[in-house]
Structure 1
Amino acid sequence: MPGLAQAQIADPTPGQGAPTPTPAPTPDSPQASGSTAAPFANEEPIVADDAFEAQLPKLSGDINAPLEPIQRFEPTVPAPAAGAPTPGAAPTPGALQDSIESFPPPAAESPEFAQPLPPLADFRVEPVAIAGVEDEKVGSVRYTTVLEGLDAVGLSGRFRTLSALEDGDGKAANATMVAARAREDENLAVRLMQSIGYYDGTAISTIEQNPRNSGNVRATITATPGSLYRLGTVRIVSDPTVPAGLIDAELNLNPGDPIQADRVQGAEANVSIRLPQQGYPFLKLGDRDILLDEETHFADYTLPVDLGPRASFGKVVTEGRRQVFDVEHIELLRRYLPGQIYDSRAVDDLRDALIATSLFSTVSVEPIRTGKPGPDGTEIVDLRVRQTAGRPRTLAGELGYSTGQGIRLEGSWTHRNFFPPEGALIASGVIGTQEQGISGTFRRSNAGRRDRTFQVIAAANHSDYAAYESYTTTFSVRWSRDSTPVWQKNWTYFYGAELVGSNEDRYNFNKGARDRGTWLIAAIPGFIGFDASDNLLNPTRGFRIKANVSPETSVRGTARPYARLMLEGTGYFPITRNIVLGGRARVGSIPGIARDDLPPSRRYYAGGGGSVRGFGYQELGPRSPDGRPVGGRSLNEFAIEARYRFGNLGIVPFVDAGQVYEGLYPTGQNLRFGAGIGGRIYTNFGPLRVDIATPIARKPNESKVALYVSIGQAF
């Protein structure tokens, strides 16, 4: 249509590089007539001018009139005029509308599209099998790693431990991934060289096929360490210390030393640890400065240090929403005196003592400045104890089994702070195949002084063993110093008094039959032990020595005084990283009384999981004519075992030996041996032990196989 064409070509703006608009033709212009000047003059218009004007909406002459609603502009189809175009001519707008509306309707959708989608769990994706490719991922690349240059400076091992290429195990999705790992290892090699003083070190990686056209590649990391940098001057920027030169002595960095990162950081950490142990609790290290000289390959080291005041101990202050101890009891636990030079080890020790009470959910100890002058030019520093009470009650249980002794289940309920401070009330009971009993205990920890425990015990017990049957009531008091899993001590002890009433059966050799009797026993038991092992529940090195002495008197008609003595030593020797050789020896003697005058429960017996494994409980030693053990006045026991641990599991072969004697001295004659093997499951509360053993040269009526299940090592 000539009008539309004119509008389209007139859009570009004149004068800005656009073509100049062509003037609209008029009837008198040359373009209005003649085929040469007007090439489109003979063509029929697509829409006649009259029809086009008729289709335009009629607009109001008032420019301020409101817009008419869009609904009024409905397309209209004019009736065909007498001079309508013949077939083949350009359609009118109405004809175009008719042709659009005459499209056939869309075909109906397939019924499958209306069905619900199946759940994802029903999809089964089968791997695609490609002929000739087995057990490998499509598109994977295998590579080897070659390292050059780091052997000379001793970094090959550390590099391979941290290497991205080594971590990939020689496999990658594509060569690009291999190259990315190699670039990462370039940076690793440079960092490692700089960490030991080679600051000019460089590294480059190359990737090549090996062999050519094989699809496998070789990644080579080539490192060039360069020259080693050493310390030139070592300068500490700080106030003077008391004594003088304290920081220099603890830093211990000297001119000429290689600039090794772990060496420098370790020296600075030593200052941070040692100076608070010598009176400087508020010490702060600044940022070190190391200035490298590329020509001499020396470096100047500078460390700023803010000492803070030199301090002495003041008082204890405490805070917390749920406090457990008052200041007086906390001061009972400290191992320093006010006025002493501040020592962070004493602060750590106080915190450990508080944790060992098991009465806190959170507890911390920290120094706070007071600004008050102290002795020798120091400033007094108080210790602030922040405390929050934890749950004071505990339910505990222990289950064990051994051949000859049967099942033994022990449970207890404990309130650790029933009588503050640290006054615990404990109720416990035992149910077993051969033992039943109940007991109540009052225990005061840190009683009057740190690490001293006072306890009162009342118990009733029934025992039915092969050697005797007894009904026993016990009342005892005891003072002790004990080790705990949190606080293992070198020296431990206990002493006290014990009053026992026991009704027991025994074999009466005078009558040649068993009878029952009631004994009243008074004892003053004592114990002392030295523990140089590295772990309370699972030692791997060191030794322990224990000694028991118990002067006693048994009364049945007449009083008969005697003493029960026992000495035991254990040792632990690491053979390899995973194997520990353990040994134990025990001897005992009861002077002052004949064996048959002793209550059966106070005699010595041997055999069982804590004695000579392979034999039943109390099975070793002299026997009565009815075949039951009668015990003795002396014994000796020996054991050796190899503890092999792998991960949280272990295997322990062992050989035990022992014997019980009627006489006073453990002569070592007629020793009996048991051998076996055990399994260990190591947990955070100690090893779970399962041992199975058998007697060597077994005799009639002795156990064929003995099984022991308990918590903790045999010794």
Structure 2
Amino acid sequence: MRGIWSLSVSGFSSGILAVAAAGMQQAQPPIAPVAAPVSAQQAAEPQIVPDPEFDKALPALSNDINAPLEPMLPAAQAPAETAPAELTQPLPALQGFDSTPLVDATFKDTKSPEIRYDTEVRGLDALKVKGQFNGLSALRGGKGKAANATVVAARGREDEALAIRLMKSLGYYDGTAVSTIEPIPGDTTKLRAIVSATPGKQYKLGTITVKAEPTTPPGLVESQLPLKVGDAIEADRVQGAEANVALILPQRGYPFTKVGQRDILLDDVTGLGDYTLPVDTGPRSSFGTFTTEGRLAFGAEHVSVLTRFKPGQLYDNRLTDDLRAALVATGLFSTVSVEPVRTGNINPDGTEQVNLLVKQERGKQRSLAVSGGYSTGQGVRLEGSFTNRNLFQPEGALIVTAVGGTQEQGASATFRRSNAGKRDRTVTLTASADRTSYDAYNALTATLSGKVSYDSTPLWQKKFSYAYGFELVGTNESVYDFGLGDRKRGTYFIVALPGQVLFDRSDSLLNPTKGYRLKLSVSPETSVRGAVQPYVRTLIEASGYYPIGSSIVLAGRVRAGSIDGTSRDDLAPSRRYYGGGGGSVRGYGYQRLGPLDPQGNPVGGRSLNEFALEARYRFGNYGIVPFFDGGNAYEGPIPKGTDLRYGAGIGGRFYTNFGPLRVDVATPLNPRKGDGKVALYISIGQAF
């Protein structure tokens, strides 16, 4: 190779170029040397450097790849004019290199112009997807403003892709879209961004093939796939059909159904697509037993009480979801899930037994609650309670309650067993002692009561519910004696067997906006005060709710009550009917409506009738409610339609996740002597 260098231009670097050039010409035939005269200058040039001397002149190599670079020439051969000292210094190590820029390269132009533009979409109107396009459009999202034309163009390209996706979702797989930007004639401050879409032909289903194992009944998968030949290949329709298969089959005994990935083979000549869907149905199954795991609130035996199915019944995941909802409704779990588990056991009917695994994570059992309210005539009332929801497993709660107020004080202890041997059945035992002081009566009362009920909850509202039970009451009360012309105290012992049925077609327990409710309460009772005096208390109530638009609800209620079988004066004052108050006829004090004694205090009656009308207007979490109420209590057992007392007012509502906070201000429209001019009511929940 060095022989080649001898033919090249003098100089070290030129020799390297000659090597490269010679290397590229090795395939050419050799060229014969040509003799040329040699000048004196050429004869004086030094000879080729011998190999040993050449190797000695090369700088030594270091094995350290991080070592600083060394100068290429020996010091003796360095040029006369040396570079600045900084350039001859070794480079610093990479980890110690200071990357701080010498000059701040950040450029901010607060006066940079802003481009405005209009957006126009063409070709999508016939497909009825323009609304979807506008909601997802990058051009629309920019609200007609951009930093420069490049940004507008980039948004246009995004909208091109969006238009193509929307067209494909409707079966227009050949659809194209292009965006252009043009000036607006006569307006130099604006541009027009145009997205033009060309859908092309719409592809339709040519064949439909389902790959699945045989089912019972035959063709179950195909029957639940609502697609037919000739349908447009629309994404929403196809995905909805596949979702229907995944939904229905677990309801028909196939809990382990898995819908696979579809395949659609398009033919651009015919415009048809061959659709194939693989479905793994899994075994046809029936319900088996229960197992539980985790931090348990209760065991598998109580789980079976909450079910609405029996072992051996064909599997239906709606019943599994129903069980999960019932578990959540107990309020005893922080998390809970129900999962079907294969067993491999085949039943005589050919189905596979599937057990349900209930994974529990026990939640907090203890809670404190406080509620309160105020109303004219009843004063302030505060109630606090402590609850241990699972003290007596399973679902045996202890509830201790204390009541304090200007006119009522008391305490009670309640044992409550939820889902007592049967789903949704609640057994309650309560012992209480109260002291009350109202205009109608003063009473010291002790009560022992029990109740069996089938109740609604905010999570599980029922159309039909009921309750029945007993009450043993001992009460010492002040009562006006018309024979004496003055008040005196009397002691009453009362045995009652109250019952109630409720038919509820409203849409909410605490804040209904539509539907109606019908309630009937009947309580056969006897008062033992020297002699046994049986009687019957009856109360019937109906309420309805009718929405007007999205923000106004018209609500109405009527109520009537009767006590038959005894005279009013033989009834304990606390068992009589009274009208007036926040849950009755607003504008009048608590229990102020009805017959009065010569001292101007209410004495109650044996019958009652009431009505109430409200217009509930809601805006956000707030509401305004004008209302009009009427009613009265009567001495006889049959309520009258005359001598009604009316009240009207307006209320405010603050809506929370546990119900509305209610503040009502009302005034009596035809007051009697002693009735106040304004009444105020504060509580939680609607009036009815």
Give the alignment's TM-score, normalised by structure 2.
0.83
1:207 partner amino acid: I
Residue 30 of structure 1 and its aligned partner are, at CA, apart by: 9.3
Residue 211 of structure 1 and its aligned partner are, at CA, apart by: 4.5
Partner of 1:372: 345
The runs of 5 or more residues in structure 2 that have no matched partner are 1-9, 20-39, 43-59, 61-79, 86-107
Residue 497 of structure 1 and its aligned partner are, at CA, apart by: 0.7
Distance in 2 of aligned mates of 1:327 and 1:202: 60
Partner of 1:631: 604
Residue 681 (1) aligns with residue 654 (2): yes
Corresponding residue to 2:427 among 454, 458, 463: 454
2:502 partner amino acid: G
Corresponding residue to 2:673 among 675, 700, 707: 700
Of 625-634 and 174-183, more deviation after overlay is shown by: 174-183
Distance in 1 of aligned mates of 2:569 and 2:580: 20
1:434/1:217 CA distance change after superposition, 3 Å? farther
Residue 159 (1) aligns with residue 133 (2): yes
Residue 508 of structure 1 and its aligned partner are, at CA, apart by: 1.7
Of 433-442 and 673-682, more deviation after overlay is shown by: 673-682
SS of match in other structure, 1:626:
coil
Partner of 1:202: 176
Residue 383 (1) aligns with residue 356 (2): yes
Residue 423 (1) aligns with residue 402 (2): no
Of 559-568 and 223-232, more deviation after overlay is shown by: 223-232
Distance in 2 of aligned mates of 1:402 and 1:169: 53
Distance in 1 of aligned mates of 2:12 and 2:672: 121
1:223 partner amino acid: A
Partner of 1:42: none
1:652/1:317 CA distance change after superposition, 3 Å? same
1:229/1:30 CA distance change after superposition, 3 Å? closer
2:156 partner amino acid: A
Residue 557 of structure 1 and its aligned partner are, at CA, apart by: 2.0
Corresponding residue to 2:618 among 645, 651, 676: 645
1:622 partner amino acid: P
Structure 1 residues 219-618: aligned runs within 5 Å: 219-320=193-294, 322-618=295-591
Residue 218 of structure 1 and its aligned partner are, at CA, apart by: 2.4
Distance in 2 of aligned mates of 1:141 and 1:614: 63
Residue 443 of structure 1 and its aligned partner are, at CA, apart by: 0.8
Corresponding residue to 1:145 among 111, 116, 119: 119
Residue 547 of structure 1 and its aligned partner are, at CA, apart by: 0.9
1:633/1:138 CA distance change after superposition, 3 Å? farther
Distance in 2 of aligned mates of 1:629 and 1:138: 81
SS of match in other structure, 1:625:
coil
Residue 652 of structure 1 and its aligned partner are, at CA, apart by: 2.0
Distance in 2 of aligned mates of 1:536 and 1:619: 28
Of 385-394 and 503-512, more deviation after overlay is shown by: 503-512
Partner of 1:4: none
Identity %: 61
Of 400-409 and 279-288, more deviation after overlay is shown by: 400-409
Partner of 1:110: none
User: Do the aligned residues in 2 keep the contact of 1:588 with 1:635 (CA within 8 Å)?
Assistant: yes
Partner of 1:621: 594
Distance in 2 of aligned mates of 1:211 and 1:698: 76
2:420 partner amino acid: A
Distance in 2 of aligned mates of 1:698 and 1:219: 72
1:649/1:171 CA distance change after superposition, 3 Å? farther
Distance in 2 of aligned mates of 1:656 and 1:323: 51
Partner of 2:17: 16
Residue 710 of structure 1 and its aligned partner are, at CA, apart by: 1.7
1:461 partner amino acid: D
Distance in 1 of aligned mates of 2:493 and 2:116: 83
Distance in 1 of aligned mates of 2:16 and 2:406: 115
Corresponding residue to 1:170 among 114, 127, 144: 144
SS of match in other structure, 2:188:
coil
Distance in 2 of aligned mates of 1:526 and 1:304: 57
User: Do the aligned residues in 2 keep the contact of 1:339 with 1:375 (CA within 8 Å)?
Assistant: no
Distance in 1 of aligned mates of 2:139 and 2:17: 62
Partner of 2:154: 180
1:516 partner amino acid: R
1:205/1:598 CA distance change after superposition, 3 Å? same
Partner of 1:655: 628
Residue 281 of structure 1 and its aligned partner are, at CA, apart by: 0.6
Higher alpha-carbon Rg: 1
Partner of 2:641: 668
User: Do the aligned residues in 2 keep the contact of 1:211 with 1:217 (CA within 8 Å)?
Assistant: no
Residue 230 of structure 1 and its aligned partner are, at CA, apart by: 2.2
Distance in 2 of aligned mates of 1:144 and 1:677: 50
Distance in 2 of aligned mates of 1:681 and 1:574: 19
Distance in 2 of aligned mates of 1:201 and 1:707: 68
Residue 553 of structure 1 and its aligned partner are, at CA, apart by: 0.8
Alpha-carbon RMSD across the aligned residues, in angstroms, is 2.4
1:163 partner amino acid: S
Of 647-656 and 626-635, more deviation after overlay is shown by: 647-656
Instruction: Show CA shifts across 1:468-518 (max 9, x none).
Output: 111111111111111111221222111111011111112222222222111
Partner of 2:31: none
Distance in 1 of aligned mates of 2:315 and 2:205: 33
The runs of 5 or more residues in structure 1 that have no matched partner are 1-8, 19-28, 32-62, 64-91, 98-126, 131-136
1:267/1:642 CA distance change after superposition, 3 Å? farther
Partner of 1:216: 190
SS of match in other structure, 2:349:
helix
Give the alignment's TM-score, normalised by structure 1.
0.80
Distance in 1 of aligned mates of 2:276 and 2:549: 44
Instruction: Show CA shifts across 1:212-246 (max 9, x none).
Output: 45322222222223223222222211111111121
What is the number of equivalent residue pairs in this alignment?
Answer: 599
Instruction: Show CA shifts across 1:371-418 (max 9, x none).
Output: 111132111111111112111101111121222222211110000111
Instruction: Show CA shifts across 1:324-349 (max 9, x none).
Output: 21221111211111111111111111
Partner of 1:87: none
Distance in 1 of aligned mates of 2:588 and 2:515: 28
Of 703-712 and 492-501, more deviation after overlay is shown by: 703-712
User: Do the aligned residues in 2 keep the contact of 1:585 with 1:638 (CA within 8 Å)?
Assistant: yes
Distance in 1 of aligned mates of 2:672 and 2:147: 69
1:12 partner amino acid: S
Residue 17 of structure 1 and its aligned partner are, at CA, apart by: 4.5
User: Do the aligned residues in 2 keep the contact of 1:312 with 1:375 (CA within 8 Å)?
Assistant: no
1:163/1:713 CA distance change after superposition, 3 Å? farther
Instruction: Show CA shifts across 1:186-210 (max 9, x none).
Output: 2222222222222232222222333
User: Do the aligned residues in 2 keep the contact of 1:499 with 1:521 (CA within 8 Å)?
Assistant: yes
Instruction: Show CA shifts across 1:71-110 (max 9, x none).
Output: xxxxxxxxxxxxxxxxxxxxx99xx99xxxxxxxxxxxxx
Residue 562 of structure 1 and its aligned partner are, at CA, apart by: 0.8
Partner of 1:191: 165
SS of match in other structure, 1:612:
coil
Distance in 1 of aligned mates of 2:672 and 2:113: 71
2:681 partner amino acid: Y
